[in-house]
Amino acid sequence: MPTLTSSSVSVDAVMLESRAAALAKRSIKTSAKLEGITLAIRCIDLTTLEGKDSRGRVRSLCAKARNPRPGWPNVPSVAAVCVYPNLVPVAKEALRGTPVKVASVATAFPSGLSSLEVKLADTAAALASGADEIDMVIDRGAFLSGDEGSVFGEIAAVKQLCGSAAHLKVILETGELGTYDNIRRASDLALEAGADTIKTSTGKVGTNATFPTALVMCEAIRDFARRTGERRGLKVAGGVRTTKQALTYLVIVKETLGDAWLTPDRFRIGASALLDDLLMQLEKEETGHYAGTDYIPKD
């Protein structure tokens, strides 16, 4: 069983934000922009997490995930499709024979306020339906009330259930944690408990992924790699809509963690609308002009 270390390094908000702002000013042009856009597409977890999600909706999304821009052979498929557990079988079926993975949110997403038994059952159901990846949420209430042991224990238990076959992403819901110190602490805790990837947000609260949040989480991942030699992943999610944002996240990962993290194995962007903007910017880079929005498949 993994164990929890007693403290985390502290984070100075002013300097963290100024470093993130400096990284956001990197100028990504021409060949770098083209490469960045393609890389960003490869790292997308194309997501639909709405109460009205249906089989038809998920099938459409899967079609777009495997081939985002028909007729453009250079456009890769995305990394995964992310859905609620009930829809995992539909996605699995639609993506059969493709490299696109199926990720499922679990553990009483998005609040995480159920018993461990329910969370484990939720996870087990998603796995049994064929989910390749589990996006679990932590119990923020427990974390904020100081019960780190219970948060740690839940992550470790879910990881045990996932085993080595399924990839576990742990959602910290950074928008609810209040301080960068808390985000750093939750990151360390999740990594030590066995998270394969730490993820910013559910997309269901007011504040989702931000540049400073991604930076502080990268620092936790980098320090974990330095301590243990293990390279864990980062997923930013919620509010990532533009190519400029996506490229900035790639810059933050590149300059904090290094090129070894610029792969869908270690970096993901959870998004839905982002893909359309990436496709539009890609076409602009390749042809020199913007296509109308109706040239981009809407799904």
Partner 1 sequence: MAIFDYAPAPESVRPQIRDDYGLFIDGRWSPPASGAYFETVNPATETTLARIAYANDADVDRAVRAARKAYDKYWRKLKPADRAKYIYRIARAITERSRELAVLETMDGGKPIKESRDFDIPASAAHFFYNAGWADKLEWIMRAGREPQSLGVCGQIVPWNFPLLMAAWKLAPALACGNTVVLKPAETTPLTALALAQIIEEADLPPGVVNVVTGDGTTGAALVEHPDVDKIAFTGSTEVGKMIARRLGGSDKRLTLELGGKAAHIVFADAPMDQAIEGVVNGIYFNQGHVCCAGSRLLVEERVHDEIVVRLTERLQTLRLGDPLDKNTDIGAINSRAQLEKIEELVRSGVEQGATLVQQQCDLPSRGFFFPASFFSNVHQSHRIAREEIFGPVLSILTFRTPDEAVEKANNTPYGLSAGVWTEKGSKNMWVAQRLRAGVVWCNTFNQFDPSSPFGGYRESGFGREGGVHGLFEYLAH
Catalytic residue positions?
Answer: 135, 199, 235
The pair of structure tokens assigned to 122 is 């939720």
* 10 vs 54, beta carbon nearer partner 1: 10
**Bridge partners for 47 per DSSP:** 82
Chain mean position to CA 256: 17
Residues of this chain, 266-295, that bind partner 1 according to CB under 8 A: none
Q: At what angle do helices 180-193 and 148-162 cross, to 10 degrees?
A: 40
> In angstroms, what is the minimal distance from the CB of 237 to partner 1?
21
Task: Please state, in angstroms and rounded to a whole number, the distance separating the CA atoms of residues 13 and 6.
Answer: 22
39 or 90, CB closer to partner 1?
Answer: 39
The verdict on 27 binding partner 1 (CB under 8 A) reads yes
- Closest approach, Cβ 181 to partner 1, in A, equals 9
CB 138 within 8 A of CB 150: no
Which of the ranges 34-42, 75-83, 90-98, 116-124 carries the binding residues for partner 1, by CB under 8 A?
A: 34-42
Phi, psi of 73 (to 5 degrees): -65, -20
Q: Report the residue from 5, 25, 56, 294 that binds partner 1 according to the rule CB under 8 A.
A: 25
Which one of 82-90, 143-151, 231-239, 247-255 is the stretch in contact with partner 1 (CB under 8 A)? 247-255
**Can residue 16 be called a binding residue for partner 1 (CB under 8 A)?**
yes
User: Is 63 a residue that touches partner 1 (CB under 8 A)?
Assistant: no
Of 1, 259, 288, 298, which lies in the binding site for partner 1, with binding defined by CB under 8 A? 259
The answer to whether 241 contacts partner 1 (rule: CB under 8 A) is no
Contact call for residue 53 and partner 1 (CB under 8 A): no
Instruction: Out of 1, 5, 29, 294, name the contact with partner 1 by CB under 8 A.
Output: 29
Taking CB under 8 A as the criterion, the residue among 3, 5, 6, 31 binding partner 1 is 31
Q: Is 16 helix (H, G, I), strand (E, B) or coil?
A: helix
Pick between residue 159 and residue 185 the one whose CB is nearest to partner 1: 185
Instruction: Report the C-alpha dihedral over residues 92, 98, 100, 102, rounded to 10 degrees.
Output: 10
Nearest distance from residue 270's CB to partner 1, in Å?
A: 20
d(CA 64, CA 67): 5
Task: For residues 220 and 261, give the distance between their C-alpha atoms in angstroms, rounded to a whole number.
Answer: 14
CA distances to 75, 98, 123 from 131, rounded to whole Å, are: 25, 14, 9
Beta carbons within 8 Å of 278's beta carbon, 6+ residues apart? 37, 40, 41, 44, 243, 246
Q: How far is the CB of 111 from partner 1 (least distance, A)?
A: 31
Q: What is the Cα 286 distance to its own chain's centre? A: 28
Q: Is 50 in the site for partner 1 (CB under 8 A)?
A: no
Residue pair 41/266 in contact by the 8 Å Cβ criterion: no
Binding site for partner 1 (CB under 8 A): 9-12, 14-16, 18-19, 25-33, 35-36, 39, 216, 219, 226, 250, 254-255, 259, 262
